[in-house]
Structure 1
Amino acid sequence: MNTLKFLRLAGNDLPLPAYATPGAAGMDLRACLPEGPVEIAPGKVALIPAGFIVELPLGTEMQIRPRSGLATRHSILVPNSPGTVDFDYRGPVAVALLNAGSETFTVTHGDRIAQAVIADVRRPEIVEVDAVSETERGAGGFGSTGVA
């Protein structure tokens, strides 16, 4: 079944997450702050409630990502990006926001604070082996394929 179910929490008078355009990959998530705004000082993280519980389709996750406008204009990031809401989680969804900027940022009720992408999850069998196959890259790690 391909249905995304939202349970609106008390105090949430906001629109449910929705796609802004027909081609959008992510749904806008809004800050559910009926008690008032939250200020995020430079270098600090705040957990902002989204005002709902979600039931995802089997075999999916909800990835919570930064909004490009907030990131580029205000340096507001999702520090665990992408944050994951697992299929079997049934608690309130919240978004961790990091102020990587130099000025305090205020989040108010209804602000679009992040985007959520529904992604398929693969769960392969886990096995221990004595060796792995060889590749051209081998064990070359960070920067091993060049800087530019």
Structure 2
Amino acid sequence: MKTRGFEIISMYRAVGIHLPERKTGASTGYDFAAAEEVVIPPGDGALIPTGVKAYMQPDEVLLIYIRSSAALKKHLMLMNSVGVIDADYYGNAENEGHIYIPLYNYGKEPVRIAAGERIAQGIFTHYLTVDGDTAGSGAVRAGGFGSTGS
């Protein structure tokens, strides 16, 4: 039985995408890379495709953070501060659970993100719910960004 991990989404299987990985034994985060080149104009944002989806247990979440080098050297930040990938995002009908990294360029020059460039890191963790929580009783995720609030 699979407990947690990453897979390449179907449209990127022939492209040579690398699955996120930790670089050292003490690293907390799994590095995510851009699946294709994207240029972000100054004062603007873009959704960077990773070509990757994540599977996990129902009581887990994958939190996405900017890599410090992208923030310091390229003047980039996550548009939503911290990305939250829910367990039921995996395999959804709209986009297979494709993880996009929403980056904002707060610098004065365009920023080029190369295909294969590491831009963010993901950390799996457990979460808790309150007594009497009945969320999700039969509800099925239909999409991506903001879809749980619809």
TM-score normalised by structure 1 residue count: 0.77
- In the alignment of these two chains, the number of paired residues is 124
**Deviation sequence 1:68-90 (CA, Å, 0-9, x none):** 01111111111212110001112
**Deviation sequence 1:13-66 (CA, Å, 0-9, x none):** 122100011111111001011xxx211011111001110221112311011101
Alpha-carbon offset, residue 2 of structure 1: 7.5
Between the aligned partners of 2:38 and 2:75, the Cα distance in structure 1 is 16
Q: Of 108, 113, 116, which residue of structure 2 is paired with 1:107?
A: 113
Higher helix share: 2
Between the aligned partners of 2:28 and 2:5, the Cα distance in structure 1 is 18
Partner of residue 40, structure 2: 40
Q: What fraction of aligned residue pairs are identical, expressed as a percent?
A: 31
Between the aligned partners of 1:93 and 1:78, the Cα distance in structure 2 is 13
The change in CA–CA distance for 1:126 and 1:43 in structure 2 (over 3 A counts) is farther
- Give the structure with higher Rg (CA): 1
- In the TM superposition, structure 1's runs of 4+ consecutive aligned residues that sit over 6 Å from their partners are none
Cα-Cα RMSD: 1.8
Between the aligned partners of 2:52 and 2:120, the Cα distance in structure 1 is 14
Unpaired runs of at least 5, structure 1: 128-148
Between the aligned partners of 2:54 and 2:16, the Cα distance in structure 1 is 16
Alpha-carbon offset, residue 6 of structure 1: 2.2
